[in-house]
Amino acid sequence: MKYDEIDADHSQIENLDEYLNLDIRVPVSKETSKLVENPFLSRGVGDIPNPNEVNCSSYSETCCKLRSYDWMSKMDISIDYLECPYAEVRFKNSHKEFFLLPHEGSFKVGDIVAVESTPGHDIGIISMLGKSVYRQLKHKRMNETEISKKLYRTARYSDIEKWISTVNSEHTTMLSSRYIAWDLGLKMKVNDVEYQGDGTKAIFYYSAEDRVDFRELIKILAEQFRIRIEMRQIGVRQEAGRLGGIGTCGRELCCSSWLTNFQSVSTSSARTQQLSLNPQKLAGQCGKLKCCLNFEQATYVDELKNFPAPNVPLKVKKGKGVYNKIDIFKKIVWYNYANDNSTMFAIPLDKVNQIIEMNKNNKYPESLEEFAIVNQKKMEEVGYSLDELKNIEDK
């Protein structure tokens, strides 16, 4: 059964094996599949551009990495190019640059343009114009005097055709460079390739643990593809951001959608958040500790200031209460007697601080039981479910 003949009613599909096993990464024949990869998605284009259209109708800021939403575009503000002569131009993935607009011509977001590059020219898509560019420059802590490259013109038919041809060859070039590196015995991985719009230069992004001598690799690549080669080393976090994926939270990876500044993550963040030090759960797709461990770290640190130190005991007449664990969200601290490890008492944080103040004044309550949450009703009032109560009873 051909794919075109399959009816919308899935009950008519008897065998899905031939469709489930299809490789959707490369174009295949129409008889086998209509799932064809779009290499322009990484440039924010939902479909292959039409060489006859200067403005890319399928361009959208929502289908690419690190998009910039131009909220001022909805306002009725006329754009004066002399007043704001800058444009943000998008290339592949997170590659964006600012360019000087020419004095003549009219431009709008989504236009395919030719811009200055070294050497030759590059092809990109205008992603932002007008006064929003000033805000973007301020956000990236850039000065207007740093913008020196020029935007030449809107792309011609021949420019767009050449651009489409080079973009379509990026995946094949990346695979070929990987094989060549493996044959040379280089301990590196080529993660991505970005061609310049005029096809005279290509940037090879690679990751490696140690320093790599790739002079022989550059020589072979330049001879095989007849282009200028530029090698850029990236870390494993940047690699995950360029490749993309879905995290354990079910959402797109932060590094591939909005995160640009990678900060070091340590196991102290996991300890502060009362997480078990399990490398398989704490590590992301890059193999490093998840960046999201830092997102709520400051909040946990502020909350822990209200909790007593673990080495501060609760002194009562029945014995000494030893710190066991805490529940930051429900503000409960668990204690047990020093001479009895089998029974733990869940004491609200305000009661714990009350006992500590009493101890400072040389006052000692009768026991921990009178401050503990002892019945199911009180436990449910602080937010514990029946399953959590059962687990506590089992422990």
Question: Which tens digit of pLDDT belongs to each residue from 181-239?
Answer: 999 999 999 999 999 999 999 999 999 988 889 899 999 999 999 999 999 999 888 88
Query: What's the pLDDT at 97?
Result: 92
Other Cβ atoms within 10 Å of 216 Cβ, number: 12
Residue 151 has pLDDT above 80, yes or no: yes
Higher pLDDT, 33 or 347: 347
Q: Contact, 356 vs 313, CB < 8 A?
A: no
Tell me what the mean pLDDT of segment 371-394 comes to.
Answer: 55
pLDDT digits (tens, 9 = 90+) for 77-115: 555 555 788 999 999 888 889 999 998 888 888 899 999
Tell me what the mean pLDDT of segment 248-273 comes to.
Answer: 86
Q: Which domains does the chain have, with CATH numbers?
A: 1-37 (no CATH), 43-164 (no CATH), 169-234 (3.30.300.20), 238-303 (no CATH), 314-394 (no CATH)
User: Mean pLDDT score of the chain, rounded to an integer?
Assistant: 81
For 100, counting Cβ atoms within 10 Å of its Cβ (0-12 exposed, 13-18 middle, 19+ buried), the class is: middle
Query: What's the pLDDT at 2?
Result: 38
Tell me what the mean pLDDT of segment 32-44 comes to.
Answer: 65
Residue 13 has pLDDT above 50, yes or no: no
pLDDT digits (tens, 9 = 90+) for 283-326: 998 889 999 999 989 999 999 998 998 889 999 998 899 998 88
Query: What's the pLDDT at 42?
Result: 82
Question: From the centroid of its chain, how far is CA 43?
Answer: 16
Average the pLDDT over each of 55-64, 147-156, 270-279 and give the range with the smallest value: 55-64
| SS3 labels along the chain | CCHHHCCCCHHHCCCCHHHHCCCCCCCCCCCCCCCCCCCCHHHCECCCCCCCCCECCCECCCCCCCCCCCHHHHCCCCCCCCCCCEEEEECCCCCEEEEECCCCCCCCCCEEEEEECCCCEEEEEEEECCCHHHHHHHHCCCCHHHCCCEEEEECCHHHHHHHHHHHHCHHHHHHHHHHHHHHCCCCCEEEEEEECCCCCEEEEEEECCCCCCCHHHHHHHHHHHCCEEEEEECCHHHHHHHHCCECCCCCECHHHHCCCCCCCCCHHHHHHCCCCCCHHHHECCCCCECHHHHCCHHHHHHHHCCCCCCCCCEEECCEEEEEEEEECCCCEEEEEECCCCCCCEEEEHHHHHHHHHHHHCCCCCCCCCCCCCCCHHHHHHCCCCHHHHHHHHHC
Contacts of residue 266, defined as CB under 8 A and 6 or more positions apart, other chains included, come to 289
Query: What's the pLDDT at 218?
Result: 93
Query: What's the pLDDT at 12?
Result: 41
Query: What's the pLDDT at 19?
Result: 42
Query: What's the pLDDT at 64?
Result: 59
Confidence of residue 387 (pLDDT cuts 50, 70, 90): low
Query: What's the pLDDT at 229?
Result: 93
Query: What's the pLDDT at 81?
Result: 56
Query: What's the pLDDT at 103?
Result: 84
Confidence of residue 65 (pLDDT cuts 50, 70, 90): low
Predicted TM-score (pTM) of this structure: 0.71
Confidence of residue 246 (pLDDT cuts 50, 70, 90): confident
Contacts of residue 82, defined as CB under 8 A and 6 or more positions apart, other chains included, come to 103
Place of tokens 């205008």: 126
Most confident segment among 9-18, 90-99, 375-384:
90-99
- Find the farthest-apart pair of alpha carbons in the chain and give their distance in angstroms, rounded: 90
Percentage above 70 pLDDT, the chain: 80
Higher pLDDT, 115 or 72: 115
Higher pLDDT, 158 or 71: 158
Tell me what the mean pLDDT of segment 362-367 comes to.
Answer: 90
Place of tokens 């005279």: 200
